[in-house]
């Protein structure tokens, strides 16, 4: 699983907006399966957790029934991308450049669902309201948000048609964008995270002494 902390909420809180995403644990220490957006106060489950699951399976899973996650609205995903410093284009969007570092960082944080033979990354996640846990699927197509790195500078960052609508359909390369409000107040979460960084820095200094 490609999941490392690449975007750190800094000790100095006056950094650009896209420094607001941090990786935190979900079920086990060090699993880093949640991305916390400290601007919105929302937690995002790693796409690789639901990768290859049908919408039926996701909607009946503990992630939704017990853990408080729900399918993200397009507006939620747009906010996440904006806070990562990424412009999300609707309905396919153009091939883009200029935000490649932010693209790679967000893919790494939220989980790469495909690693190409050349090592480049793609993440694909289904959205709500095209898929909704509280009612039937609607429309002709399910929609997904896609980040697709094409080369060292070019990428897609767009909403695109996913799979033909079927609640039992499985797409091996697609996860689901699941989101929930953070159960820990964001300032406290940031304080805990930065305190850990301070502790690690102190330990490193002591080892050098």
Predicted pLDDT at 13: 36
Q: How do residues 133-177 score in pLDDT, each as one tens digit?
A: 455 555 555 678 999 999 999 999 998 765 555 677 788 999 999
CB 177 within 8 A of CB 37: no
The more confident residue out of 93 and 97 is: 97
**DSSP-assigned beta bridge partners for residue 159:** 145
The pLDDT, as a whole number, for residue 83 is 96
pLDDT in tens, 55-73: 889 989 999 999 999 999 8
**Listed residue (177, 183, 161) closest to 64, CA to CA:** 177
Is the per-residue pLDDT at 11 higher than 80?
no
Instruction: Read off the tokens for 60.
Output: 């009946």
Both tokens of residue 169? 């359909």
The pLDDT value recorded for residue 113 is: 97
Average pLDDT estimate for 95-101: 94
When the pLDDT of each residue in the chain is averaged and rounded to a whole number, the result is 79
Q: What is the pTM of this model?
A: 0.76
Residue range 89-95: mean pLDDT, rounded? 78
Pairing of strands 121-126, 175-176: parallel
| Residue 31 structure tokens | 């699993």
* Closest-CA residue to 147 (of 93, 191, 185): 93
117: alpha, beta or left? (left if phi > 0; alpha if psi -120 to 50) = alpha
Q: How far apart are CA 32 and CA 116, in angstroms?
A: 23
């Amino acid at each position: 699983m490609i999941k490392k902390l690449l975007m750190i909420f800094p000790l100095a809180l006056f950094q650009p907006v896209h420094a607001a995403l941090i990786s935190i644990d979900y079920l086990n220490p060090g699993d880093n399966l949640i991305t916390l957006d400290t601007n919105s106060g929302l937690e995002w489950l790693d796409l690789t957790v639901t990768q290859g699951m049908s919408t039926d399976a996701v909607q009946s899973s503990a992630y939704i029934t017990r853990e408080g996650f729900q399918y993200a609205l397009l507006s939620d995903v747009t906010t996440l991308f904006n806070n990562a410093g990424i412009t999300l284009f609707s309905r396919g969007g153009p091939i883009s450049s200029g935000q490649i570092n932010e693209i790679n960082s967000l893919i790494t944080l939220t989980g790469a669902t495909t690693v190409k033979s050349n090592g480049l990354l793609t993440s694909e996640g289904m959205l709500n309201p095209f898929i909704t846990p509280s009612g039937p699927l609607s429309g002709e197509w399910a929609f997904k948000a896609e980040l697709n790195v094409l080369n060292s500078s070019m990428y897609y960052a767009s909403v695109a048609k996913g799979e033909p609508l079927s609640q039992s359909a499985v797409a091996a390369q697609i996860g689901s964008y699941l989101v929930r409000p953070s159960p820990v107040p964001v300032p406290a979460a940031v304080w805990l995270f930065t305190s850990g960084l301070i502790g690690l820095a102190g330990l490193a200094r002591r080892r050098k002494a």
